[in-house]
């Protein structure tokens, strides 16, 4: 196999992982399996930098998924699942990072900022009767998430608890 063929194969798998659906980790491991072990695959041994490239795009996609449900513009779209799904996807991302021995430095600050902004926008929209709350998790779930993200509670809207289902 020429270096160009190898590069093309890897680029194709990187695209598949990068544009994977809801669970990029599955696409990641499927690509690794295809490239290295699948009888229909090329049977190559991945170099460390190639493996890291696949990890990079899986993490990139997982980060997008975490932030997706904190974008107020997505609230009326079919793909929207609310903050409960963000919390779930955050934990899924943390698990992926542990399994591949990687981290996402600073990403918790990005998520914290997005969550704070989301809650402020949600509060504004609910108080102005633009919409009903789309927050779909318990107060305790959000409080735990605030702790994980080291969110200063003073940055939250005053009555954020009212956004949560009773």
| pLDDT tens for each residue of 2-21 | 889 989 999 999 999 988 88
Looking at the structure, tell me whether residues 59 and 98 fall in a common domain: no
pLDDT score of 133: 96
pLDDT score of 46: 96
Looking at the structure, tell me whether residues 137 and 73 fall in a common domain: yes
| Contact between residue 138 and residue 164 where contact means Cβ atoms under 8 Å apart | yes
| pLDDT tens for each residue of 25-44 | 999 999 999 999 999 999 99
Q: Which of 16, 37, 67 corresponds to the end of one domain?
A: 67
pLDDT score of 97: 96
φ and ψ at 69, to 5 degrees? -85, 10
pLDDT score of 6: 87
Looking at the structure, tell me whether residues 45 and 114 fall in a common domain: no
Looking at the structure, tell me whether residues 30 and 104 fall in a common domain: no
pLDDT score of 88: 97
Instruction: Name the residue among 66, 110, 105, 71 with its Cα closest to residue 87.
Output: 66
Looking at the structure, tell me whether residues 52 and 89 fall in a common domain: no
Looking at the structure, tell me whether residues 85 and 127 fall in a common domain: yes
**Residue 70 DSSP SS3:** coil
Q: Which of 42, 67, 92 corresponds to the end of one domain?
A: 67
Looking at the structure, tell me whether residues 35 and 52 fall in a common domain: yes
Q: Residue 100 above 90 pLDDT?
A: yes
| Residue 35 CB coordination number (10 Å) | 22
Looking at the structure, tell me whether residues 61 and 75 fall in a common domain: no
pTM over 0.85: yes
Q: Residue 158 above 90 pLDDT?
A: yes
Compute the distance between CA of residue 146 and CA of residue 134 in angstroms, rounded to an integer. Answer: 18
Looking at the structure, tell me whether residues 1 and 57 fall in a common domain: yes
pLDDT score of 1: 82
If one counts the domains in the chain, the total is 2
Of the listed ranges 16-20, 122-126, 144-148, 162-166, the least confidently predicted one is 16-20
Structural domain harbouring 153 = 69-166
Looking at the structure, tell me whether residues 36 and 105 fall in a common domain: no
Instruction: Name the residue among 109, 163, 156, 115 with its Cα closest to residue 139.
Output: 163
| Contact between residue 69 and residue 81 where contact means Cβ atoms under 8 Å apart | yes
pLDDT score of 22: 79
Compute the distance between CA of residue 58 and CA of residue 21 in angstroms, rounded to an integer. Answer: 11
Looking at the structure, tell me whether residues 60 and 76 fall in a common domain: no
Compute the distance between CA of residue 131 and CA of residue 126 in angstroms, rounded to an integer. Answer: 5
Q: Residue 166 above 90 pLDDT?
A: no
Compute the distance between CA of residue 142 and CA of residue 138 in angstroms, rounded to an integer. Answer: 7
Looking at the structure, tell me whether residues 140 and 63 fall in a common domain: no
Q: Which of 67, 95, 125 corresponds to the end of one domain?
A: 67
DSSP class of residue 156?
S
């Amino acid at each position: 196999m020429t270096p160009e063929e190898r590069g093309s194969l890897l680029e194709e798998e990187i695209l598949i992982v990068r544009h994977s659906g809801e669970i990029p980790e599955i696409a990641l491991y499927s690509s690794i399996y295809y490239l290295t072990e699948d009888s229909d695959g090329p049977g190559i041994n991945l170099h460390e930098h190639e493996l890291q490239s696949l990890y990079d795009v899986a993490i990139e996609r997982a980060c997008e998924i975490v932030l997706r449900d904190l974008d107020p513009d997505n609230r009326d779209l079919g793909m929207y699942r609310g903050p409960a799904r963000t919390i779930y996807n955050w934990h899924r991302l943390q698990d992926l990072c542990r399994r591949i021995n990687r981290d996402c430095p600073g990403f918790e600050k990005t998520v914290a900022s997005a969550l704070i902004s989301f809650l402020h926008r949600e509060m504004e929209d609910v108080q102005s009767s633009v919409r009903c709350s789309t927050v779909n998790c318990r107060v305790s779930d959000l409080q735990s998430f605030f702790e994980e993200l080291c969110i200063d509670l003073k940055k939250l809207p005053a009555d954020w608890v009212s956004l949560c289902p009773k």
